[in-house]
Amino acid sequence: MRLDKFLSSQNICSRKEAVKLAKSGVITINGKPAAKCDIKIDPERDIIEVGGETVSYRKNLYIMMNKPKGVLSASTDRNAPTVIDLLPDELRRRGLFPAGRLDKDTTGLLIITDDGEFAHKMLAPKSGVFKLYRAKLDLPLTDEGKNTLEHGITLSDGTKFRPAVISFEDENDRSDVLIRITEGKFHEVKRMFAFVGRDVLELHRKRIGALELDKELAFGESKLISEKEIKSIFCGQYS
Ligand code: URA
């Protein structure tokens, strides 16, 4: 890979800036100054330093976003802002897309990546990855409604939803519900609650597998996460 391409792919700088940095002598390859950016490097073997700091190689990017309302979980759209539009310049990279969808009015944990294989694995129903949502309902959920959703349902159009796990933030307010599901069907949570006669007024995703939304991230903010964190998505269950 060319040095300038490598540096921009690792979000160190743009390809143009890489040329300037190389000229100024702050980039080294295996300890030797690199004056030009068209040099080919092996990202897996060569040690690249910028200003004395080693650039650790990330083949793929994994970004955690706290999705706000009013933004589409898509890469591009002509009419509405997308989650990709919200990324700060330093996290932008070609090929990024949201791994899975949250509705326009849903908030919370969204993973943005350029790793198609990972996204496929995370979204495949057979992976059984839990997604935990907090739903604010128009009316309290009855025991009967809870029980129905915990046994799995079939809608009148034949769509089946697997059993969910339901709990409450506070037993005294049963319109504030925590629901765990393992599928990602279109409008799944809203359609599940509609089945038991409840409207979802607000929906927020808190967790995917063992990966929890960072409470420090405000709506619309995002941050890079490590491969270790991303793997925690597939790590067992959680309390
Ligand atoms: N279920 C829904 O109904 N909407 C979402 O955005 C996610 C899950």
DSSP H helices, 161-221, are 188-195
Cα of 15 from ligand 1 centre, angstroms: 39
Determine contact, residues 211/109, Cβ cutoff 8 Å: yes
Tokens of 13: 């700088």
In this prediction, residues 21-35 reach a mean pLDDT of 93
Active site residues: 103
Nearest ligand 1 atom to the CA of 184 is 8
Probe residue for ligand 1, chosen from 107, 149, 159, 203 as the CB with the greatest number of ligand atoms within 8 Å: 203
Smallest CA-to-CA distance from 129 within 180, 201, 195, 62 is with 180
Helix, strand, or coil (residue 143): helix
Q: 205: how many CB neighbours lie within 10 A of its CB?
A: 20
Contact residues for 65 (Cβ-Cβ < 8 A; gap 6+):
83, 86, 87, 109, 110, 111, 112, 217, 220, 221, 222
Average pLDDT over residues 3-28: 90
Question: For atom 2 of ligand 1, which residue has the closest CA?
Answer: 187
Separation of CA 197 and ligand 1 centre (Å): 17
The rounded Å distance from CA 30 to ligand 1 centre is: 48
- 194 — phi, psi (to 5°)? -60, -35
**pLDDT value, residue 68:** 98
Q: Which residues line ligand 1 (CB under 6 A)?
A: 102-103, 106, 187-190, 203
Rg (CA), the chain: 22
CA 91 to ligand 1 center in whole angstroms:
26
Whether the predicted pLDDT of 238 surpasses 60: no
Whole-model pTM? 0.85
Counting residues of the chain whose pLDDT is more than 90, the rounded percentage is 79
Q: What is the pLDDT of residues 126-149, one digit of tens each?
A: 888 999 999 999 999 999 999 999
Q: How is 15-59 classified by DSSP, letter by letter?
A: HHHHHHHHHHT-EEETTEE---S--B--TTT--EEETTEE----S
Average pLDDT value for residue range 180-205: 96
Mean pLDDT (whole number) for 5-13: 86
Q: Which of 51-60, 91-100, 132-141 has the highest mean pLDDT?
A: 132-141
